[in-house]
């Protein structure tokens, strides 16, 4: 997998991919109304372009033969109280196309996320993951993330529980 930094030229393709992978991940366990409410407020090309123009964020794309198969995004911002850090970076998005699950793409992308976090001067990476997303939790544990606490997350009208997980950013590989 080739991993590169996304640019605004990727906005349309990334918007389609982000929406599709979100829907594929969560549709089976959520109502259509809740999914539509969240997706319409979060994805779309204009929204994606604005995020790509935000210099504080880093969005990484994973491509196989020029086809988008994964993406991740890190952003600064105050972490929840359960995450102690000097310079915390949130892993705000981390999605791999279903056809590439279990094939190493996610690990390659996580290595690139870690490198980007270090380049940004981060000392802690943290994330939120739905408590019912067992595969992602297992993957994050394998990548060295540990539980830090819980937070609520609103999907449409449904208030859900997310785990907050964190890991240190190593200074060198």
Ligand X SMILES: CC(C)(COP(=O)(O)OP(=O)(O)OC[C@H]1O[C@@H](n2cnc3c(N)ncnc32)[C@H](O)[C@@H]1OP(=O)(O)O)[C@@H](O)C(=O)NCCC(=O)NCCS
Which residue ranges make up the site for ligand X (CB under 6 A)?
A: 21, 25, 94-96, 101-102, 106, 129, 133-136, 138-139, 142
Closest to ligand X by CB, 74 vs 136, is: 136
Q: Which of 4, 1, 3, 20 is nearest to 12 (CA)?
A: 20
* Closest separation in Å from C-beta 158 to ligand X: 16
> What DSSP character marks residue 170?
P
* Closest separation in Å from C-beta 42 to ligand X: 13
* Cβ contact 14:65 at 8 Å: no
* Cβ contact 98:154 at 8 Å: no
* Closest separation in Å from C-beta 46 to ligand X: 23
Pairing type for strands 124-130 and 158-168 reads: antiparallel
Closest to ligand X by CB, 38 vs 139, is: 139
* Closest separation in Å from C-beta 168 to ligand X: 19
- Cα–Cα distance, 42 to 37 (Å, whole number): 9
Closest to ligand X by CB, 70 vs 169, is: 70
Q: Which of 128, 121, 134 is nearest to 93 (CA)?
A: 128
Closest to ligand X by CB, 84 vs 101, is: 101
């Amino acid at each position: 997998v080739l991993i590169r930094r996304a640019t605004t030229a990727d906005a349309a393709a990334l918007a389609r991919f982000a929406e599709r992978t979100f829907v594929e991940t969560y549709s089976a366990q959520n109502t259509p109304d809740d999914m539509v409410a969240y997706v319409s407020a979060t994805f779309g090309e204009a929204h994606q372009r604005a995020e790509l123009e935000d210099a504080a964020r880093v969005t990484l794309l994973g491509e196989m033969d020029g086809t988008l198969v994964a993406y991740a995004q890190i952003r600064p911002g105050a972490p929840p109280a359960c995450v102690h850090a000097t310079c915390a970076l949130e892993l705000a998005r981390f999605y791999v196309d279903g056809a590439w699950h279990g094939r190493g793409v996610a690990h390659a992308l996580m290595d690139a996320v870690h490198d980007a976090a270090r380049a940004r001067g981060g000392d802690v990476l943290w994330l939120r993951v739905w408590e019912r997303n067992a595969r992602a939790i297992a993957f994050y544990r394998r990548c060295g993330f540990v539980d830090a606490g819980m937070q609520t997350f609103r999907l449409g009208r449904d208030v859900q529980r997310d785990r907050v997980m964190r890991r240190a950013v190593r200074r060198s590989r």
